[in-house]
Structure 1
Amino acid sequence: MGGKATGALLGLAIGDALGKPTEFDDVEQIAWQWPDWRQLPLPPQALVTDDTQMTLALARGLRTALAGGPLTPPRLERAVREEFVDWWRSPQNNRAPGMTCLRSCQRLSTPERRWQTASDVGSKGCGANMRVAPIGLVRELTPDQAAGAAQLQSALTHGHPTALAASDLTAYAVRRLAEGLAPAELPATLRDHALANRTRYHASWLGDLADHAQDRSPEQFVARGWDDCLAVLDRLDAALAAPDVEADPCLATGEGWIAEEALATGLLCFLLLPDDPMAAVRRAAYSCGDSDSIACLTGAFAGAHLGAGAWPADWVERIEYRDELLELGTLWD
């Protein structure tokens, strides 16, 4: 995976910084300033949003948990919970963070509170899967550890089954691309993963989380999330069957404010331009939806596929948190 972890971490931050200025604008508003999406510039001071900040928080927690031995649910929960609460308290947490993350992290800041009661089981916002890429970059994780960890990190804030499934699929996509899977094979590979796990509840990682929702069983709880993801993969397949790189990608697969749409629209932008990473993240950021999160995911996929060399040196030089991103990328490469 030479350079793949570095490529994915740099890519997600680059996409995030590209999408930060366009996040709350529709395409017509963006076009007033930049008529051609292919010319969308990376700002001279490439500041990121909470998307990259929370990715780094997860990455630091993951690094701490792995330093203690093989990854287990208690190790991951302790370390990532501490990092998320630190992020919530940080004065740098001023980048329009999502309300689910803020409220859940506030609840997690009470040490004696079980995390399952801090989670928001009604929220499937994209705040969980836009930060999950690091889990797909740690090669020593078994498939079960990677899936369980992806879902647990989601559930600390976003406990909706669709947030869990989309986080699992996002980390799995990053992992398979870093391993060398051809982009054209990715949609079918993700569908197979969703179908194979549709009724699998990772009880050792999630504990009694499902009991806090209204479903009749843990299996029914998780199936609800995988079914949402399978439905949006249908929309992705339809968009790729009639590709239109000039159209706003959000029109095909959704605006990305919710987890499964952020995954699908991030994938669409990457798969439309799998060998042109700069165009892919520009296409993602030049959209009417949650542009920073969509471009963040697109950049993670492109970087995992192509490695660190995908990104121009002058872009990398300007990225906020560059040194920490490079340090973590080097660790996992």
Structure 2
Amino acid sequence: MLRASGCLFGLAFGDALGAVTEFLTVDEIRRRFPPNGPQEPLGNPALVTDDTQMTLSVGQALVAALSSNLTVASLEPALRHAFVEWLRSPQNNRAPGMTCLRACENLEAGIPWQQATRPNSKGCGANMRVAPVGLLALDETTRAAVAQFQAALTHGHPTALAASDLTAAAIADLVKGGDALGLPSRLYTYAASQRLVYHGDWLGSLWKRPYTNTPEEFISRGWDECLAVLDRLNAALVNPNRDADPCLATGEGWIAEEALATGLLCFLLFPNEPQAALRRAALTAGDSDSIACLTGAFAGAYLGMAAWPEDWVIRIEYRDHLAVLGKLWD
């Protein structure tokens, strides 16, 4: 089914659809793209945002680190190099988030990553780029640690770590053939099991903050926020409403746990209609490109590359880079 390729291309397609609707209200989107928002990626090439660019950076770093043993010692310099390369790219002109910019500037200056990160940020930049971690054939503990670590280089808030871990877990679940209907329950069980798990061999002293006594106390705050947003997701799925803005149920997606939940909601409203899921995700009042890129990643991981029209594939920006990583991990 080419699920890895489906995931990566789906992420880019969602990013391209949402790129033209981010920062707009639903009514403004309908006026600009009547009657129901953009129906396909626009342009040739169809341009993406920093969401896809940074996903490719994480993928590039993982490929480099996997050439030896995947450890902090191999992944940290690979991520640092890839993030700085992204920072200085002339194509880094797609309204990137200030958290990523400031943290990557610190990384470029050679500051240790624990000091380079933005410790209080849980923006969706932490997990809109984590999909490649979910595509790797890793054991659950290593996958969790790597997902959190890639987030931690820029977003040091415990919820950024937990939401990135949970996003990668969702993608890994779908790639392995997990059914869509049961996904929220499986994610909830996983999140509950991780509440007191701090990956100290990867995260080191990141947990040390004022008024925080233990690493378990630190990370549990992040998982509790993820569990709370999963409760909101489950409530929305009791009586699913395809016509209402998903942001009303699970949040506008500017922060990591809401981007995850709203991306999941858009996917689960249309589990077997991937293009409809992306159109719904782009027709949202919040961080539409990040919501839609996660929606596309979930849909592509679930349905494979066959989910996407060939016309979209040949027009999407960075298609060669996406194809190389997809082929490597399919």
Please indicate the TM-score interval, normalised by the length of the shorter structure: over 0.9
Q: Which runs of 5+ in 2 are unaligned?
A: none
Among 220, 233, 247, the alignment partner of 1:236 is 233
The one-letter amino acid of 1:307's match is G
Q: What residue in structure 2 maps to residue 103 of structure 1? A: 102
Between the aligned partners of 2:102 and 2:125, the Cα distance in structure 1 is: 12
Instruction: Please report how far the alpha carbon of residue 76 of structure 1 lies from its aligned counterpart in structure 2 after TM superposition.
Output: 1.0
The one-letter amino acid of 1:250's match is C
The answer as to 2:91 corresponding to 1:92 is yes
Between the aligned partners of 1:270 and 1:34, the Cα distance in structure 2 is: 21
Between the aligned partners of 1:31 and 1:322, the Cα distance in structure 2 is: 29
Q: What residue in structure 2 maps to residue 125 of structure 1? A: 123
Between the aligned partners of 2:105 and 2:211, the Cα distance in structure 1 is: 24
The answer as to 2:161 corresponding to 1:171 is no
Instruction: Please report how far the alpha carbon of residue 37 of structure 1 lies from its aligned counterpart in structure 2 after TM superposition.
Output: 2.6
Question: Within 5 Å, which residues of 2 pair with 1:130-149?
Answer: 130-139=128-137, 141-149=138-146
The answer as to 2:182 corresponding to 1:185 is yes
Between the aligned partners of 1:319 and 1:241, the Cα distance in structure 2 is: 35
Between the aligned partners of 1:238 and 1:94, the Cα distance in structure 2 is: 38
Specify whether residues 257 and 213 from structure 1 end up closer, same or farther in structure 2 by C-alpha distance, changes over 3 A only.
Answer: farther
Q: What residue in structure 2 maps to residue 58 of structure 1? A: 58
Normalised TM-score (structure 2): 0.98
1:296-315 Cα offsets, whole Å, 9 max, x none, are: 00000000000011100001
Q: Indicate if the aligned counterparts of 2:29 and 2:37 stay in contact, CA closer than 8 A.
A: no
Q: Indicate if the aligned counterparts of 1:121 and 1:213 stay in contact, CA closer than 8 A.
A: no
Specify whether residues 93 and 301 from structure 1 end up closer, same or farther in structure 2 by C-alpha distance, changes over 3 A only.
Answer: same
The one-letter amino acid of 2:64's match is T
Between the aligned partners of 1:93 and 1:74, the Cα distance in structure 2 is: 27
1:213-250 Cα offsets, whole Å, 9 max, x none, are: 64221111000000000000000001000100011110
Between the aligned partners of 1:212 and 1:71, the Cα distance in structure 2 is: 28
Specify whether residues 162 and 150 from structure 1 end up closer, same or farther in structure 2 by C-alpha distance, changes over 3 A only.
Answer: same
Q: What residue in structure 1 maps to residue 114 of structure 2? A: 116
SS at match of 1:326: helix
SS at match of 2:181: helix
Q: What residue in structure 2 maps to residue 71 of structure 1? A: 70
Between the aligned partners of 1:243 and 1:275, the Cα distance in structure 2 is: 15
Instruction: Please report how far the alpha carbon of residue 212 of structure 1 lies from its aligned counterpart in structure 2 after TM superposition.
Output: 4.2
Q: What residue in structure 2 maps to residue 250 of structure 1? A: 247
1:104-144 Cα offsets, whole Å, 9 max, x none, are: 00001122x211011111000000100000000012x1111
SS at match of 1:292: helix
Specify whether residues 204 and 129 from structure 1 end up closer, same or farther in structure 2 by C-alpha distance, changes over 3 A only.
Answer: same
Instruction: Please report how far the alpha carbon of residue 287 of structure 1 lies from its aligned counterpart in structure 2 after TM superposition.
Output: 0.5
Counting aligned pairs with the same residue, the percent is: 60
Specify whether residues 14 and 89 from structure 1 end up closer, same or farther in structure 2 by C-alpha distance, changes over 3 A only.
Answer: same
Between the aligned partners of 1:76 and 1:148, the Cα distance in structure 2 is: 11
Q: Indicate if the aligned counterparts of 2:134 and 2:170 stay in contact, CA closer than 8 A.
A: yes
Between the aligned partners of 1:97 and 1:296, the Cα distance in structure 2 is: 15
Between the aligned partners of 2:74 and 2:210, the Cα distance in structure 1 is: 25
Q: What residue in structure 2 maps to residue 299 of structure 1? A: 296
Q: What residue in structure 2 maps to residue 200 of structure 1? A: 197
The answer as to 2:233 corresponding to 1:211 is no
Specify whether residues 74 and 258 from structure 1 end up closer, same or farther in structure 2 by C-alpha distance, changes over 3 A only.
Answer: same
In the comparison of the two structures, how many residue pairs are matched?
A: 329
Deviates more, 1:54-63 or 1:30-39: 30-39
Runs of 4+ in 1 over 4 A off after TM superposition: none
Between the aligned partners of 2:81 and 2:123, the Cα distance in structure 1 is: 21
Between the aligned partners of 2:48 and 2:147, the Cα distance in structure 1 is: 22
Q: Indicate if the aligned counterparts of 2:37 and 2:282 stay in contact, CA closer than 8 A.
A: no
Instruction: Please report how far the alpha carbon of residue 51 of structure 1 lies from its aligned counterpart in structure 2 after TM superposition.
Output: 0.2
1:266-317 Cα offsets, whole Å, 9 max, x none, are: 0000000000000001100110000000000000000000001110000111
Q: What residue in structure 1 maps to residue 82 of structure 2? A: 83
Normalised TM-score (structure 1): 0.97
Between the aligned partners of 2:243 and 2:73, the Cα distance in structure 1 is: 46
Between the aligned partners of 2:39 and 2:301, the Cα distance in structure 1 is: 22
The answer as to 2:265 corresponding to 1:268 is yes
Q: Which runs of 5+ in 1 are unaligned?
A: none
Please report the RMSD computed on the Cα atoms of aligned residues, expressed in angstroms.
1.0
SS at match of 1:320: coil
The one-letter amino acid of 1:78's match is P
Q: What residue in structure 2 maps to residue 16 of structure 1? A: 15
Q: What residue in structure 2 maps to residue 44 of structure 1? A: 43
Between the aligned partners of 2:125 and 2:211, the Cα distance in structure 1 is: 22
The one-letter amino acid of 1:117's match is Q
Deviates more, 1:213-222 or 1:80-89: 213-222
Q: Indicate if the aligned counterparts of 1:38 and 1:279 stay in contact, CA closer than 8 A.
A: no
Between the aligned partners of 1:17 and 1:153, the Cα distance in structure 2 is: 23
Between the aligned partners of 1:214 and 1:124, the Cα distance in structure 2 is: 19
The answer as to 2:159 corresponding to 1:162 is yes
